Amino acid sequence: MRPTATPSAPSAPTRHTRRGAALVIAGSLLGLGAFLWPLWSRPSGTIDAAHLGDAPWLLAILTPLLLATAAAEVGRGALDAKGVAALGVLAAAGSALRLPTGGIAGTEMVFFLLLPAARVFGVAFGYLLGAITIFASAILTGGLGPWLPFQMLGAAWIGAGAGLLPKATGRAEPVLLAAYGAVASLAYGALLNLWFWPFVAGDGTAVSFVPGDAVVANLRRFWGFHLATSLGWDVVRAATTVVLCMSLGRPVIGALTRVRRRAAFGAIATFEP
């Protein structure tokens, strides 16, 4: 297999390589295991006792996988030096968007930039951008802790999902992006509750995790916990994302598309036997 550069259609996002896709899948499987292992074990103690043990290892494994994903995209021609520079600039911009509000009361603007960027540049780019943005913003805001790798994975999945959205043009594109942003914002909040819920709800309550009980029963208790603790914040995050996507989505997508064209992102790697 050897790469050959072929021009892409102007509106088509940058494709990912097979190796890059495999690494994205590997990182995602690792993340799913990290989120879900308490549901099939008998967790005890506090969040610190549980995740201060596994979170550093998760971050230590996730970071090389992210670097390997970027290297795979560069090595196969789907991402060049200009693409790496764009990734850095967008991650820095996304981190800056977290500074004005810090996510207070669910007000979160970082997804607004992540979604159009992933839409324009593709799945692997969105996956990398989501994870790097959260990591960089954690350094800027002092948000380092056992929650960090879980936040990185959640944002990475949101970015990858935006890169997989179907084609849309004109006014339909910001509507599609806003609808996805609303669903993704709600899912992100639920996912980030899942990583610590088994350790904080206590024992014997209506929302406690019960080791060994049926998964469906535990998920019902988790939903009650989620409704009681953070759904209101997630709704605000979703509303913020929808408003920004509907009002600024088209010009941002247009600007990023022009960047992709001028930076020769159209020279996408395809493969010949």
pLDDT at residue 31 greater than cutoff 80: yes
pLDDT at residue 4 greater than cutoff 70: no
Q: How far, in Å, CA of 123 to CA of 161, rounded?
A: 7
Predicted local confidence at residue 8, as pLDDT = 39
pLDDT at residue 27 greater than cutoff 70: yes
Separate counts of helices (H) and strands (E) for the chain: 10, 2
Predicted local confidence at residue 103, as pLDDT = 55
Predicted local confidence at residue 160, as pLDDT = 94
pLDDT in tens, 218-233: 889 999 999 988 888 8
Q: What is the mean pLDDT of the chain?
A: 81
In the 3-class helix/strand/coil scheme, how is 201-265 assigned residue by residue? CCCCCCCCCCCCCCHHHHHHHHHHHHHHHCHHHHHHHHHHHHHHHHHHHHHHHHHHHHHHHHCCC
Amino acid at residue number 56:
P
Q: How far, in Å, CA of 84 to CA of 90, rounded?
A: 10
**Tokens (6 digits) for 115:** 């979604």
Quick one: average pLDDT of 169-181? 93
pTM of the model: 0.84
> What CA–CA distances, in Å, run from 176 to 12, 77, 119, 162, 172?
16, 29, 11, 10, 6
pLDDT at residue 15 greater than cutoff 70: no
In contact, 14 and 46? CB cutoff 8 Å:
no
Q: What is the CA radius of gyration of the chain?
A: 19
Predicted local confidence at residue 55, as pLDDT = 84
DSSP state of 37: G
In contact, 120 and 162? CB cutoff 8 Å:
no
Quick one: average pLDDT of 182-186? 94
| Backbone φ and ψ of 268, nearest 5° | -90, 145
- Which pLDDT band holds residue 241 (cuts at 50, 70, 90)? very high
Which position has the higher pLDDT, 142 or 180? Answer: 180
- Long-range Cβ contact pairs of 216-224 (< 8 A, separation 24 or more): 218/39, 222/193, 222/194, 222/197
Q: How far does Cα 7 stand from its chain's mean position?
A: 28
On the CB side of 215, CA atoms within 13 Å amount to: 7
pLDDT in tens, 106-147: 567 888 899 999 999 989 999 999 999 999 998 988 778 888
Quick one: average pLDDT of 241-268? 82
pLDDT at residue 256 greater than cutoff 80: yes
pLDDT in tens, 55-81: 888 899 999 999 998 888 887 666 778
Quick one: average pLDDT of 6-25? 62
